[in-house]
Each structure stands twice: as structure tokens, then as C-alpha cells.
Structure 1
Amino acid sequence: MNMFNQIKGALFGVAVGDALGAVTEFMSQDEVNANYGYLTEMTGGGWLGIEPGETTDDTAMTIAVAKGLLANPSDPVGRIGNEFKKWVETNPRDIGNIIRTTFDCYEGDWFKAAEKAHKVLSGRSAGNGSLMRCLPVALAYGDLKKIEEITVLQSKMTHYDDLASEACLIYNRIAYRVLKGESLKSSIEEEIKETRYCDAIKEYPDVSPNGYVVNTFIWVLNILWTSSSFEESVQKAANLGGDSDTIGAIAGGLAGLYRGFASIPKRYVEVLKPKDELETLSEKLWQVRENETASGSSESNYTTPGSKQY
């Protein structure tokens, strides 16, 4: 599979999982069943009253990270922050509490703002808001050390808790492996060894599908492990209820990366509101990778990090 198909699949996968899951966000599984049976289509609605194919903060912040990376690949934090500010200035309907608090605390330094927000929130900054947006980092760079560096920085800009950056690291290390040609299952299996997530693929999760990053990532890993298609992955996420749009976006990103854009049903793509922007960003991210290869930048030698403690 060519890399452009994978990169495009990843970005569209995030958006599709987001748009499908937004319909059932904050519902219980019983409420999802009562209202939709088993949701398979982008019907629109939900607590936000979204239109079919409309996305939320998950896609918006993923796009912001991608734009920031493209603006200054060597040192993107400032540009990512600028994109965050542009997005907030649009007065979005959906913005997570941790991220909103960080913006309220921002006075020119994102990392100080995140630390202050952590204190304001009584130490509760381990949300899933940096995990939902981190995938473009693994798409933009071929060097693992650079991926790890920027992955942590983009997380720490808004989420002070190490649990958030830990999940982002594992997620993007999985993405790195997939882009190197490994299967999704083997990539997951290797990267969760000896971590708090090692049992996520062994049994049905006994945790709430809420915004706590650990719970979110357990669900994502289990969904990816037990699904045989892109469509199955995002539908499973949507039918959880809870923070279904974010779980769908995170699972959809890796499912789209592994299976490629061609695996995403056309009926989803055709109604997706930001599809033109996602197309453009996919091309630009792919070009960054192509230029990196052409310039002779060497990708880091990768050794199995199964025993690594995050």
C-alpha cells in the first residue's frame, strides 16, 4: 500500500470516526440501542444537533496540529499553538473542559498554562484531548525520535498529566510501526507490552467509555484488536455511547492508516463536511514525507521497545 493512501486514510479515518460517534456522544449504550438500534450511518443529531457528516473538536484539533506541523516542521509548537488559537476564536460549540481551562490560563506559554490548568482542575488533566489529535505527528515525520519529541510536546501544551502524553506516545509508536509495514495487530501487541494497557486486547473492557485517557485508550485498543474492517471499528466506537466521538476518532485514525483510504466507505466520505481540507492536508503531509526521503534524511533504526516503561 502506498504511503499517500495510508496518510489520507488516517486523516479521513479520524474525521469519519468523529462524525459517526458525535451522534451518540454522552448517551448510554441502552440509550443508543433505544434510539438507533445499532448505529451504522451518519444521521446527524445528537446533543450538539450536528448535520450528517459534521465533525467536532476531535477533527478540528487534528487539523490544527497538522497545519502547525506543516507550517514549521522543525519546530512546530508555536505554529500548532497559533492554530489552536485560531480555532478557539471561531467559538466552537464543542471544546473539552481541560483544553478550555488551558486556554483560559494561557498567557504566552502553553506549558505553563497547562500546568496552571492542572492545578485549577485539582490535578485532573488526564483527559483524552491530546490523544485525539496527535496522529499527524506520526504522519509528518519518518524519524522515531522526532515523532516521540513532538508527540509529547503537543500533548503537554494542554494536558499536564503524564498519562495523556504516555497514551499519545504508545499510539504514535503503533502508527510508526504500521507506516513501516507492520500489521496493526503486531504493532499494538509490541507497543503495549509491560504497559498499563497490556490487558486491553485480552478481554472486553470493564471501564466506562468516558473522557479519561486511560479508559479511552483501553477501548480504542480493544476495538482495533477485535475489528476486521475500518467500518466495524468506527461503528463499534459509535455504539458505545459515552465519549463516542473521540473514541471513534482515535480508533478511526489508526484503522484508516492501516487499511488505507480505499477501505473507508464512500457513503461516509461523500457527506463528510471537511473532506476538501482533509484532502489538501493529506497531500501536504505526504509531500513532507516524500521530501524527507528525497533529501536523504534517514529514518531511525527501530528496535522492539516492548519492555519500555512509559
Structure 2
Amino acid sequence: MTASGPNSGLSAPLSPSLAERVRGSYLGLAVGDALGATVEFMTPREIAHEHGVHRSIVGGGWLRLKPGQVTDDTTMALALGEALLQARAIDPGAIAEAFSAWMRAKPVDIGHTVRAGIARYRRTGDTCMPVEEMSAGNGACMRCLPLAIATLGLDEPRLRQASRLQAHITHNNALADAGTEAVMLMLQGLWRGETLLLQLKQQVQPLAQAYPAYGFRRRPCLNPTGFMGHTLRVVFEGLFDSENFEQCLVTVVNRGGDADTTGAIAGMLAGAAYGERDIPPRWLQALDPTIRQQCISQANRLLALAPFELAASP
């Protein structure tokens, strides 16, 4: 596994700043979601036939979105972020309530595992789903960005604990936990100005050694499902084989499959690596303006208050 691009050396870049990288992650999440949603559930061949190389935020897709509209990936992350800000702590009860309110508002899309977890919380008040050995979906990872900001300054054990507090409301699986926590650690490293090559060595390679499903150099992953192994393989392939934000996102979403989520997670990481100024202006202009402002505001507010305390244990 190798990394390429201007941010792949061992020396930390002088810019962008921490705040620019954090905002880049939030905007990258929404941009990747909106870009990928158009081709969600399509194969690469179908995408090529209909779009050539898909590189424009135009809406449509199976959800028949308006141009610039986002899906559950972005709106659920924003719900998590608001729960953190209102509680001023990492409180699984507050997070579960926010997810319940989010579902009550009838989001444009919602995954089966997410729906089941929220429904169970409503019935029982339990914020921890039973262990699901056969289910390793990407629903907890797609929304983890606010928590990565909230845990800036905490040690790694507390970051992992915080990740599981939010993830297990809907997803309780060791493989999915490991992938989500690796993404959070990568985000924090990139925000601090660490390089992609360092993230490859410190996070991705150990993750793939512990969980071979994340080994992304075996063969290209085309048409990824919602399985975390597929999701992060596509994200890692796009991230480490690209030179900038746009190239990464275009590479990822043109794989099709669960493209809104692969696009969202790739957008978080590429935004952290390259900063908000590297996101193509045409994509930012096409993004729903309310969502764009919410992303900027939430990024700034979470960063100003980090780190957040853990309010409870699972």
C-alpha cells in the first residue's frame, strides 16, 4: 500500500489551518454526499453510460433529489453535532433523542439498521444495541465527524469509548467499530497537519492487519455495498491514489454502489487533508445553502468547545 500526492510526504504542510481543515471536512462530507447520491446504487458501467465521468452536483438519482440536496449521511451527522452542542457533553441519551427526532422529521433516506436501532431505543430507552456479529454496516461511520471534533484533545481510549457510545445506538459490531475509530483518528491526525502517508502507516495498515476486510490493495472495489469493508476500501483507494480533493471524490463516487456514503466519508477525509480551499467552488455553490451554512457553523462551534467530556459509559 502506497500513498501519492503533494500531501503524502512526511513533512507537515504549513497550511491550511486547523479550523480550515475542520470546515473542509464538514463541507467535504456534504459535498461528497450530494455528489454521490446521484449515482447511488448504479454500477460503474451504468454511470459511464449515463454520465460519462460523473463530476457535477445535479441531484436526481433514485431518491430524485434536488440539485445540491443531501441525504441521511449529512443530516444525521448534523443531528449528532447539535446533540453534542446542546448537551455540552458526549451523552448517549441526548444523542439517541436527537436521532429519534431526526427520524421523526422524515429524512429523505434512512438505513434499515439505523431505523431498527432508533425504534429499539424508543421502545426500551436502551442506547446500546445488542452485538450484531453478521452486521457491519457503515451507518455509524458516515455520521462520526462531529464526534471526531468533540474528542479532539482526548486520549485514544476515550476517543474509542466515545465512538462506541454513539455507534452502538444503532450499530454494534467490532469490525465496524474498528473502521469508524480509524476514520476518527485519521481525521484528527490530518487536522493536526499530519500527512496521508503517516495515516496510512499509523491507522490504515494496522486496521487492515487486524481486519483483512479493510485490505484495499487486493483488487479494486467496484460497486461497494453498505458493508464497512467495501466502504473504506473504496475510500482508501480514492484518498491515497489522488492528488487533490476533486480527484479523490470523483474517483470514489464513480465506483457507484453506496456512493452517497463513500462520497461523504471520502469528503470528510479529503477535506481534512487538503482544507476547505481545495473544494471546487462550483461544488460549494451547488450545495444547498442552508446545509452549507449549517456545516460551517457547526464545525466552528464544535471546535471552539472541544474537547467534550464523556457523560456516561455504555
TM-score (ref. length: structure 1): 0.86
Aligned mate of 2:234, from 219, 223, 235: 219
Pair 1:115-2:130 in alignment: yes
Aligned-pair identity in percent equals: 32
Q: 1:160 to 1:189 in 2, by over 3 A?
A: same
- Which residue in the other structure is 2:299 paired with? 282
- Which residue in the other structure is 1:133 paired with? 143
Instruction: State how far apart, in whole Å, the 1-side matches of 2:90 and 2:107 are.
Output: 27
Aligned mate of 1:87, from 83, 102, 105: 102
Aligned mate of 2:173, from 157, 161, 173: 161
Q: 1:262 to 1:20 in 2, by over 3 A?
A: same
Q: Residues 45-81 of structure 1: CA distance to partner in whole angstroms, max 9, x if unpaired?
A: 1000001110000001111121122223433222211
Pair 1:66-2:81 in alignment: yes
Pair 1:143-2:154 in alignment: yes
- Post-superposition shift, 1:172? 1.0
- Which residue in the other structure is 2:251 paired with? 236
- Which residue in the other structure is 1:246 paired with? 261
Is the Cα contact below 8 Å between 2:222 and 2:255 reproduced in 1? no
Q: 1:29 to 1:110 in 2, by over 3 A?
A: farther
Secondary structure of 1:98's aligned partner: helix
- Post-superposition shift, 1:176? 2.1
In structure 2, runs of 5+ residues without a counterpart are 1-15, 310-314
Instruction: State how far apart, in whole Å, the 2-side matches of 1:255 and 1:197 are.
Output: 23
Write the letter of the residue equivalent to 2:180.
C
Secondary structure of 1:131's aligned partner: coil
Instruction: State how far apart, in whole Å, the 2-side matches of 1:30 and 1:182 are.
Output: 36
- Post-superposition shift, 1:133? 0.7
Is the Cα contact below 8 Å between 1:200 and 1:219 reproduced in 2? no
Write the letter of the residue equivalent to 2:183.
Y
- Which residue in the other structure is 1:307 paired with? none
Write the letter of the residue equivalent to 1:179.
W
CA RMSD of aligned residues (A): 2.1
Instruction: State how far apart, in whole Å, the 1-side matches of 2:155 and 2:232 are.
Output: 21
* More deviation, 237-246/183-192: 183-192
Instruction: State how far apart, in whole Å, the 1-side matches of 2:179 and 2:232 are.
Output: 7
Pair 1:267-2:282 in alignment: yes
Is the Cα contact below 8 Å between 1:201 and 1:225 reproduced in 2? no
In structure 1, runs of 5+ residues without a counterpart are 298-310
- 1:4-15 correspondence to structure 2 within 5 Å: 4-15=19-30
Secondary structure of 2:139's aligned partner: coil
Secondary structure of 2:142's aligned partner: helix
Is the Cα contact below 8 Å between 1:197 and 1:218 reproduced in 2? no
Instruction: State how far apart, in whole Å, the 1-side matches of 2:61 and 2:218 are.
Output: 30
Is the Cα contact below 8 Å between 2:221 and 2:233 reproduced in 1? no
Q: Residues 71-112 of structure 1: CA distance to partner in whole angstroms, max 9, x if unpaired?
A: 234332222112211110111120001111222322243444
- Post-superposition shift, 1:185? 2.6
Write the letter of the residue equivalent to 1:221.
F
- Which residue in the other structure is 1:171 paired with? 183
Secondary structure of 1:133's aligned partner: coil
* Count of aligned pairs between the two proteins: 286
Secondary structure of 1:115's aligned partner: coil
Secondary structure of 2:89's aligned partner: coil
Q: 1:207 to 1:161 in 2, by over 3 A?
A: farther
Instruction: State how far apart, in whole Å, the 2-side matches of 1:103 and 1:199 are.
Output: 27
Is the Cα contact below 8 Å between 1:132 and 1:249 reproduced in 2? yes
Write the letter of the residue equivalent to 1:284.
R
